[in-house]
Structure 1
Amino acid sequence: MQEVFIGRQPIYDRDMRTQAFELLFRAKDEGQAVFVDGDAATSEVIHSSLMDIGLQRLVGNKTAFVNLTRSFLTNGTAFVFPKDRVVLEVLEDIEIDDEVIAGVRALTESGYSIALDDYIFDRSHAPLLHLAKIVKIDLTQLTQAELHEHVRELRQYDVKLLAEKVETQEQYLSCLGLGFEYFQGYYLSRPVVVQGQRLPTSRLAVIELVNKLYRANVDLRDLEAHISRDVSLSYHLLRFINSAFYGLSRPVESIRRAVVYLGQNAIRNWITIMALRAMDDQHSDVLVTALVRGRMAQRLAEECQLAHSDSFFTVGIFSILEKMLHLPMEELLQELPLTEDVNAALLHREGPMGDALTCAIAFEFDSASETRRFRGLDEERTGQIYLEAVAWAHDIEATVAQAIPPSPRYRRR
């Protein structure tokens, strides 16, 4: 199990009310960012904020400011964010050209808000300034005269100004007098590091999915099958789609429905982010156990012609999460809102899904014969289904890569 860290620094309005938090990449629990690969750092922030820690814990009902590199602006990956909860920042080292402007325009036309980070005024950037809503000015990069000139030039555009790296009372009062709308910096508040935990993911499973996603005429049923093979991918996908920020009227509790609901484009973005971040192997015995439980529960439901057999699979694979994450099931389910039937099965072994899980575990632990029956199926038939599930799980496990390249090295910024 891997620990993840995200820094967050508040952004205040003129009345010193917190309006937002900027989310900052942290390789470990330390006060400064360390990075080499900007795409990897951005991917880590997106993944951790959406899946590992959650936006609710990071920013509550406030807005999240997220730095984006060129590739995230131009390839559509940023669309994974809920548009009404984030401001996407164009980093200062990005070359502003037609491709970047087209990417930013696509985001703004879809309802996203754009901020220009550490911005140095340039008249040639007018097309970008017309798309932005906020311009962040790094006070350490400008003299007082240059700051006044920047404010004068930028007031010609429909943007709000954010003073960044406000480190003294003098700087704060100066920017307040110049009419800045927002303020951020050590004088007001230092970044706080928030820690979470990540469920490891098989790199091979992700790579297989990425390859399939970019083929023409991708089959959503095939995507569902591949995602279902990996417990971590399944967990993160369902947590992602059931985020409170997406406001679904009812929980999505199966991989099949998540894939259908999100569609090919959103799934492609999600998997691409998964592929960029660092991943670790999960012990193969735990993986096989999860797959056996999921497959057997699903097959029992199919054999008895019960509805939502895909949810039976979800119950089976998620039943092992306590062991994988070393956290109580109650706490895990708070982060992953599922239907009452699925929760009852996972917490109390209740209902048809709970009975199917009990049956699968009975074979796993060689329990009493009465627990090996399910509905109208006798022990002989459920035993056959169990052996089929074991064979299926080992076939899947055999495809999981045993060696994963080391995580990228980072340097302090």
Structure 2
Amino acid sequence: MFAFIARQPILDLEKDVFAYELFFRDGKNNCFPMVERDEATNKLIAQKYRTLQLDDISCSKKSFINFETDALKDGLNASLDPENVVVELAAEENKMELLLDVCKQVKNLGYKLALENCRVESKWQSVLPYVDMVKVNTDKCNYENLSRNIQQFLDADVKLIAEKVETHEDFNICRDVGFDYFQGYFFSKPESVSQQNLPTSKLTLVELMGASSSATFDVENINRVIEHDVGLSYMLLRFINNPTINKRYKITSLRHALNYMGEVEIKKFIALLALTNLSDDKPLELLHLSLVRAKFCDLVGIEKNIGSNPPTAFLVGLFSMLDALLDKEMNSLVDKLPLVDEVKVALCGGQNELSVYLMLVQAFESGNWLKVIRIAKLLEIDQKQLHSMFNEAILWGNGVRRSISPHFPEAKA
């Protein structure tokens, strides 16, 4: 259905994903593209580029989709399911009458409705009975004003979503003020940089990550580490027997996996295994984002033929949020890993080809299409091909995430 798309998570008070907001490249202002492509164009996209369905994009969570208010005068796309889609509209005070009419229409069709860029000091009494959620840009928010005006939303039983939440301090403030949901990449930042040594259990995992980062591979040593940890053994077998990765053979051991998959792929999965166990007390979305980045950077690296042993592009994407997972400075963490220099440079904010891959995947995550176009030209890769790679990375990340955590908490109504 969708070829050119990005997503951003919306988290709840427990920092679990409640929904994803979707950004469309072929729609005005990242809105849902209301102009239908012709059948030949749709067929071409389906054949040439990997496309996504809503469930693929949102991992069976709700999808927030932004629409131009004017475009909804003639109704909504019939293919969208009210059970899965939250209609998002801009809170345009100069179009209050139209906004009210569209809100009534959307609610009559059974959709939940969110107002975006809502100024809390404005009077929304006429619209609020039809609205389920209000999004407030906290980057421009006056919290004193919010505290004075929040009662109108509470009285209407409207949930508050804080946008542009970029630090843990922002999250704590918004939570204390009374927000229900939070959008922004605060969860991908270290909470408080600690100088304490890593506990022994995590040092073992860092050792495993180091093994995956080296050009050499001591299978006997890796086997010993994994065999002595039942949890690691179980996770490795679940990873490798995931249908997303391996559809043909039942893998029963690391040695078996090594013979079947080869050294480079096993290095990737050992790195995944270690990272998963390091992130046990962090939001699952942090790991999920790392997975998508890893696969995307790997696909770009393959296209650019940069070499695969060690799998440098994959590791740069996978380890790109290691500082947030361990609440430590990235520089001190990479010193503990036998990473090749180009990976260290990219992870620590230096400039090289691998750091360009990271900038590119971050542009996709935020729907910064101009930056995607600029980097595509720099890398000499067709933009549509890059979109297909990003879609493939999302699907791969979803599949691996399910092998990590088969239980997905139900999204709250």
Query: What TM-score range do you get, normalising by the shorter chain?
Result: 0.3 to 0.5
TM-score, normalised via structure 1 length: 0.40
Q: TM-score by structure 2 length?
A: 0.40
Q: Computing the radius of gyration over CA atoms, which structure comes out larger, 1 or 2?
A: 1
